[in-house]
Amino acid sequence: MAAYGLYSHIQSNRRRSIALLIGLFFLVYVLVYAGALLAAALSLNADLDTLTQIAWTNLLQAAPFATIGTAVWILIAYYFHQSMIDAVTGGREIQRSDDPRLYTILENLCISRGIPTPKLKVIESDALNAFATGMNAKQYSITVTTGLLDRLDDAEIEAVLGHELTHIRNGDVRMMVVAVIIVGVISFFAELIFRLWFYNGLSFRDSRPDDRRGGGGIAIIVAIGLLAVAYLLSFLIRLALSRSREFLADAGSVELTKNPDAMISALRKIEGRGELPGATSAVMEMCIDNPREGFGELFDTHPSVESRISALVKFAGGHDPGPLALPPPADDDDDQSGPWKSAEQQTDTETSKESDARDDRGPWSQPPAEPAPAPGPWGPHRS
């Protein structure tokens, strides 16, 4: 289960990323051809061979523009995908001064392995979740929710950060971003062609003469089939992402922290509580847990929490406490002592402050006045 630094996994992710990018251009060309075939079938009265030849000619003419458009899309996603994700989730970057505890935990993990410290981002949400993004060392960042920071202790937060660091080191983050780009490009082209067809298809059909040769109907069916297949493949691309990456990231976290129980308890607390309002499915697939799944693991991007915990218990020697109920968050109106102080500690602190205020004397301050002496039978007695 020791996964951190598995070069075979890293190399596999690199090969898959390149293969997916090549497949992206292929799917774009398929969509362009389907669109050209559909347009020819709706506007011309010809047999199937003639329509396919016209569509092929149109594809060759449109291929340079499709290639440039796809490349521009990839470049935009490469440089601005983090800004897009932050806009969707509301993530904001923090520095050491904003949260010294969180920043120190991450920095210590990175120093222990000689890894550049990624950026830290926080989402104001009660959800318990975290994810990593980026395409290179300058872009890598780890995003956590405030709910995660409030409900997990330091050891559990360290385990979660170790999990996300392993995703970065193993190349899983880059792979996920490439998959998101592919889904976005294919969905955009497919929806564009469908909209053009629905808006203009009826007018094309009305303008054709009735004495057609029969090839147009078959061409329309072929074109729609190609569009449907390409659109479906854009969503099934995620099946090319090995779900073992989550097992490897859990194991990598244990190797970093030497604390399997912290990883297990973190998963138990996060389980079913990670829904990010407003986040797209692509963003949820990057998270440490995706609560939107659960219809059978065949089409899930994450293995179940139960199977991940079972692996940690079996191979890392951890102990499963079972499902955990989270304590209610502290009420700021009733307890002004802060999240790490109990009421008794706050009372002791206030008593200490009052004592300090009564005895706040410097070296030149006057000594406290002595009590007045009790009068004796011959007047006041002074020593």
Answer for the pair 218, 32: CB distance below 8 angstroms, yes or no: no
Residues 6+ apart with CB under 8 A from 29: 59, 63, 66
Q: Select from 366, 365, 30 the least CA-distant residue to 190.
A: 30
Answer for the pair 157, 105: CB distance below 8 angstroms, yes or no: yes
Q: Select from 197, 177, 175 the least CA-distant residue to 185.
A: 177
In whole angstroms, give the CA distance from residue 156 to residue 173. Answer: 21
DSSP string, 163-186: HHHHHHHHTHHHHHHHHHHHHHHH
164 is catalytic: yes
Q: CA geometry: angle at 316 spanning 145 and 146, to 5°?
A: 5
| Host H or E run for residue 316 | helix 305-316
In whole angstroms, give the CA distance from residue 132 to residue 94. Answer: 15
Residue type, 179: A
Listed as own residue / partner, the contacts of 345-348 with beta carbons closer than 8 Å and 24 or more positions apart are none
Other C-beta atoms closer than 10 Å to the C-beta of 19 total 12
Of 158, 164, 246, 255, catalytic: 164
Which sequence positions are flagged as catalytic? Answer: 164
